[in-house]
């Protein structure tokens, strides 16, 4: 029998809900670093989870789901950047709505960080997020991005060089604002 | 990592904020449904036949017990599958309600249509499976993963949404009697109006579709297109309500009113700075409560839709999944890390109080109203409360499965029995639980 028209979604896989509840915050934060805003981050995470849903049951290694979802996130992000970038460069950002503690310093720090990340090409930005925020190894980062470990090292080194020169980031790197 | 790399890692962890809200499984399911509705199916493998529960594969004891029945039902299953294929083809060919990609729906109604519901294969055991240490003698009567908060009780059946599907369930034994045709994707909790069951079967910024089904046969009787202005709610389960033969839909910044007799959209008014997150009608059909933003609650008089009151509460949450009772409005508040349930006496958010699990447990915290009480579940406690005063009438502990949490919530009441969605990750089992209604919660 052929496939049924309109039947497009399999059942919720076992363990999927636990993963989403446990890891969505971390994934969203990675998405925020990649995209620079929460709506896009949420869009990115939902896209990755929706794509992972049908293959969830086939992921056997304990760390496989997160690696798999992050791989989809990064590749989706790179695809979006290829397709969506239109030459516009953001020059300002709206302040975060929610902030606690030293509000202004936090907002400044986030804006400086996002502005610095905006200066990076997409693949360098992805390496920064995977290696230094998601704490993935060079090999895991290479696997997620579909490139060699050498390429990851190269992207990472170039990204660090660019970030080193980003306005306002040097002082943040050596101390600064707590979230 | 060298020093500079460590400093960068520290900076990223230190400065990156917590998200304003988390992504939920329901968000993902909703997205899948929308993508399916828009024809974006490449990432999702198609199923070879109508999906059915397979408890016997994961729980051999059930399968062995039902081997004779399965053998006897084999012919029915094959026939049912073929029938469902025919239904799918037929329905797909005239299912005018789903918005095409990028199109903006402008028409308010479509001609009533009729199609057959698929009959679910009879593979559900009649013997309930006790849930160890569960409150009120809860037992698992099927393995249907009904989305918590979508289970409602009709005259003779329960209706619930298993992600994407509308199920009609026999409360006597948990059997899924009918399942809606597989050509639409249910995203909202079903709403019973007279002898019809309605649900939102498409919900995007391009438009929404309300689909009505015969409450007994679950055959489709109508499909109504509704334009959407602006963004849709992040919590689609609570965007549809019914009263006085009318349905009320949160359509972005607008509220759409659809007459269930004529199957026409009779009114859509623009008054709110949306998006509207949820709405609910009072049991007596005289009030419509609407939540939007962070967080405003507007009370309208029905059927005139005159504004009666507006109240707000400050915070970083978003109110959704509204339920109205005689004493006020209930709902959930989704914040950075949790979803908790609340009660606003008289619909006044200034008097808001939180009810149930303090830490919140997502969809299982969605309040439901049944059997004369409001029910709020979670992973710690199952609470029933007075619909008039909000006072907690009874609290029962929800057990843990070893180190894993168990979830119980989304209660519907039929007769003297309560039905709830149950899940535990340790045993990887989910389903519908039945339990006795405690006297304190019987209204």
> Please, is A67 exposed, middle or buried when counting C-beta atoms within 10 Å of its C-beta (0-12, 13-18, 19+)?
middle
Closest CA–CA distance from residue A69 to any residue of chain B (Å): 13
Q: Does B48 touch chain A (CB under 8 A)?
A: yes
Question: Average pLDDT of A61-77?
Answer: 85
Q: What is the pLDDT of residues B222-238, one digit of tens each?
A: 999 998 888 888 888 89
Strand, helix or coil for residue A115: helix
- Per-residue pLDDT band at B304 (split at 50, 70, 90): confident
* DSSP codes, B311-351: EE--SS-EEEEEEEETTEEEEEEE-SS-EEEEEEETT-GGG
The residue with greater pLDDT, B381 or B99, is: B381
Given this model, what pLDDT does residue A15 score? 81
ipTM score of the complex?
0.83
Which 3-state string (H, E, C) describes A65-102?
A: HHHHHHHHHHHHHHHHHHHHCCCCCCCCCCCCCCCCCC
Residue A142, min C-alpha distance to chain B (Å): 16
Residue A135 has pLDDT above 50, yes or no: yes
Please report residues of B whose CB lies closer than 8 A to that of A54: 43-45
pLDDT of A142 above 90: yes
Q: How much is the pLDDT for B130?
A: 87
pLDDT of residue B35: 65
Q: Mutation test of the interface with chain B: which of A3, A12, A54, choosing the one with the most B Cβ atoms within 10 A? A: A12
Summarised one tens digit per residue, pLDDT across range B47-63 is 233 333 333 333 333 33
Contact by Cβ (8 Å): B270, B256: no
Query: What pLDDT does B418 receive?
Result: 95
What does the block give as tokens for B43? 């990432």
Share of chain B above pLDDT 90, in %: 35
Residue B284 has pLDDT above 60, yes or no: yes
Q: Which residues of B touch A12 (CB under 8 A)?
A: 25, 29, 145, 163
Cβ contact (<8 Å) for A1 and B81?
Answer: yes
Q: Which residue of B has its CA nearest to A156?
A: B5
- Of A169, A94, A90, A82, the C-alpha closest to A128 is A169
Contact B17 A106 (CB under 8 A): yes
pLDDT in tens, B155-183: 899 999 887 789 999 998 888 898 886 55
Q: What's the pLDDT score for residue A21?
A: 83
- Tell me whether residues B47 and A172 touch, CB distance under 8 A: no
pLDDT at A39 over 60: yes
Whether the CB of B427 is below 8 Å from some CB of chain A: the reply is no
Residue window 55-94, chain A: list those with CB within 8 Å of chain B.
Answer: none
Query: Once rounded to an integer, what is the mean pLDDT over residues B377-381?
Result: 87
Task: With a cut of 60, say whether residue A102 has pLDDT above it.
Answer: no
Q: What is the pLDDT of residue B58?
A: 32
Give the list of residues 6+ apart from residue B11 with CB closer than 8 angstroms, or none.
A113, A169, A172, A173, A176
- The closest CB to that of B12, out of A3, A7, A133, belongs to A133
> How do residues B184-232 score in pLDDT, each as one tens digit?
678 899 999 999 999 998 888 778 899 999 999 999 999 999 988 888 8
Q: Does B423 touch chain A (CB under 8 A)?
A: yes
Residue B80 has a pLDDT of 37
Set of chain B residues whose Cβ sits within 8 Å of the Cβ of A32: 16-17, 19
Average pLDDT of chain B is 76
**B162 → chain A, closest CA residue:** A11
pLDDT tens digit sequence for B98-154: 223 233 333 333 333 444 455 443 333 446 788 888 999 999 998 888 888 899 999
Q: Does A149 touch chain B (CB under 8 A)?
A: no
**Beta strand residue intervals within B68-193, DSSP E:** 118-119, 129-130, 139-142, 152-153, 158-162, 165-169, 176-179, 191-193
pLDDT score recorded for residue B361: 59
What per-residue confidence (pLDDT) applies to A49? 92
- Residue A11: the pLDDT is 72
CB-count exposure of residue B310 (10 Å: 0-12, 13-18, 19+): middle
Residue A48 has pLDDT above 50, yes or no: yes
Is A24 within 8 Å of B31 when comparing Cβ atoms? no
A21 close to B (CB below 8 A): yes
Q: Looking at the partner chain, which of B16, B21, B163 has a beta carbon nearest the beta carbon of A12?
A: B163
**The predicted structure's pLDDT at residue B127:** 67
Mean pLDDT of the region B396-420: 87
Residue from B24, B51, B257, B32 nearest B149 by CA: B24
Give this prediction's pTM: 0.56
CB contact under 8 A, A4 and B88: yes
| Distance to chain B for A24, nearest Cα, Å | 6
Structure tokens at B426: 């340790």
Q: B163 to each of A7, B115, B237, B307, B309, how far by Cα in Å? A: 12, 21, 11, 35, 35
B-chain residues near A124 (CB < 8 A) = none
């Amino acid at each position: 029998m052929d496939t049924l028209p309109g039947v497009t979604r399999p059942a919720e896989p076992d363990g999927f809900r636990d993963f989403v509840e446990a890891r969505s915050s971390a994934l969203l934060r990675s998405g925020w670093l990649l995209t620079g805003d929460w709506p896009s981050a949420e869009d990115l995470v939902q896209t990755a989870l929706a794509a992972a849903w049908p293959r969830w049951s086939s992921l056997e290694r304990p760390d496989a789901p997160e690696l798999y979802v992050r791989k989809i996130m990064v590749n989706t992000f790179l695809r979006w950047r290829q397709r969506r970038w239109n030459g516009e460069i953001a020059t300002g950002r709206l302040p975060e709505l929610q902030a606690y503690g030293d509000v202004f310093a936090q907002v400044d720090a986030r804006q400086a960080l996002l502005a610095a990340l905006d200066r990076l090409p997409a693949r360098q930005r992805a390496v920064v997020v995977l290696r230094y925020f998601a704490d993935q190894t060079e090999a895991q980062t290479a696997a997620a991005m579909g490139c060699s470990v050498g390429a990851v090292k190269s992207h990472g080194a170039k990204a660090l060089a660019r970030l080193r020169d980003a306005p306002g980031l040097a002082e943040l790197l050596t101390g600064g604002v707590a979230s | 990592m060298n020093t500079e790399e460590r400093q960068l890692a520290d900076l990223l962890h230190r400065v990156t904020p917590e998200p304003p809200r988390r992504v939920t499984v329901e968000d993902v399911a909703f997205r899948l449904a929308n993508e399916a509705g828009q024809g974006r199916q490449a990432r999702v493998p198609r199923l070879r036949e109508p999906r059915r529960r397979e408890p016997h594969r994961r729980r051999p004891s059930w399968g062995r017990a039902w081997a004779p029945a399965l053998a006897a039902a084999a012919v029915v299953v094959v026939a049912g599958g073929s029938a469902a294929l025919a239904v799918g083809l037929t329905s797909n060919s005239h299912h005018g309600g789903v918005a095409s990609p990028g199109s903006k729906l402008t028409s308010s109604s479509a001609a009533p249509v009729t199609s057959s519901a698929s009959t679910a294969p009879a593979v559900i055991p009649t013997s309930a499976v006790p849930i160890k240490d569960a409150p009120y003698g809860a037992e698992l009567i099927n393995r249907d993963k009904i989305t918590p908060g979508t289970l409602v009780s009709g005259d003779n059946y329960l209706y619930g949404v298993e992600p994407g599907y509308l199920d009609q369930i026999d409360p006597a034994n948990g059997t899924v009697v009918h399942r809606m045709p597989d050509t639409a994707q249910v995203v909202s909790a079903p709403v019973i109006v007279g002898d019809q069951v309605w649900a939102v079967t498409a919900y995007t910024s391009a438009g929404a579709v309300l689909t009505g089904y015969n409450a007994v046969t679950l055959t489709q009787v109508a499909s109504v297109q509704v334009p959407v202005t602006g963004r849709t709610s992040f919590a689609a389960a609570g965007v549809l309500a019914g009263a006085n033969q009318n349905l009320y839909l949160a359509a972005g910044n607008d509220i759409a009113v659809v007459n269930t007799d004529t199957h026409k959209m009779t009114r859509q008014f623009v008054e709110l700075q949306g998006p509207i997150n949820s709405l609910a009608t009072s049991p007596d059909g005289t009030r419509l409560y609407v939540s939007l933003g962070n967080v405003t609650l507007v009370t309208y008089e029905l059927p005139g839709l005159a504004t009666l009151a507006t109240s707000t509460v400050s915070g970083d949450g978003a109110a959704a999944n509204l339920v109205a009772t005689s004493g006020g409005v209930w709902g959930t508040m989704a914040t950075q890390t949790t979803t908790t349930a609340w009660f606003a006496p008289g619909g006044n958010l200034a008097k808001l109080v939180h009810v149930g699990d303090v830490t919140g447990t997502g969809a299982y915290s969605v309040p439901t109203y049944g059997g004369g009480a409001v029910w709020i579940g979670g992973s710690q406690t199952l609470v029933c409360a007075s619909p008039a005063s909000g006072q907690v009438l009874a609290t029962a502990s929800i057990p843990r499965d070893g180190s894993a949490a168990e979830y119980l919530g989304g209660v519907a009441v039929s007769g003297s029995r309560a039905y709830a969605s149950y899940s535990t990750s340790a045993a990887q089992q989910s389903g519908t639980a039945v339990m006795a209604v405690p006297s304190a919660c019987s209204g």
